[in-house]
Chains A and B, each alone.
Chain A
């Protein structure tokens, strides 16, 4: 059973369009993260989210990115105006019940920007 589920599994969009990637936790956790992995490259941290607030964001996470937990359950990553270089796998991860440290990744969303 996945720790979190992510939708869609694959998103194709045109450059300049907005996309929303969704993460649904299986159980009630407080720590969530978004990472991305460009094909053939390292997994990169984007943002951490604790108790419905951003706790840290990377330099990648600029004004084009935002995160929300609109209904207290789903956790979304929005990219306002996609660029070709945003093409990557985007992973949502949740923290362990004991705290932030151990992180369990969802299956990912493959974003392709044309």
Chain B
């Protein structure tokens, strides 16, 4: 069974701090990695994707990928209360049909 694991949290950080969210996956053949943000009662919103080892930055967000360790992370700099949400890690299967396997999600609370 291919799995994606996340710490469910909640992760609580003060406003302006860096939030660090982590994810591990079991399928070594996975090629694509995504971070979605999900507000309560809403649909997942794609915020970052990464395909190669290393870091990818987009505004306040940085995704990090280490395929050897089967580890993906998301850093949120200068966290804002509006960042409070559940962050879902999703991994593209090795079958290349677009199927995504999601983790349970980490709830982030940014306190003013």
Contacts and interface: CB of A to CB of B under 8 A. Distances in A.
Given A91-B43, A91-B44, A108-B43, A103 B104 contact: no
B88 A101 contact: no
Chain A interface SS verdict (over half): strand
Nearest to A89: B43
Given A101-B32, A102-B34, A56 B95 contact: yes
B69 interface: no
A100 interface: yes
B45 A105 contact: yes
Interface residues of A, number: 25
Interface in B56-112: 88, 90, 92, 95-105
Interface stretch (A12-20, A40-48, A79-87): A40-48
Contact of B46 (A42, A104, A108): A104
B102 A42 contact: yes
Contacts of A101: 32, 49, 51, 92, 98
Contact-residue size bin, chain B (C-beta under 8 Å from the other chain): 20 to 34
Contact of A45 (B100, B104, B105): B100
A10 B105 CA distance: 24
Interface in A42-68: 42-45, 48, 50, 55-56, 58
Contacts of A48: 97-99
Given A42-B104, A42-B105, A103 B43 contact: no
Contact of B97 (A44, A56, A102): A56
A16 B98 CA distance: 31
Interface of A: 31, 33, 35, 41-45, 48, 50, 55-56, 58, 89, 91, 95, 100-108
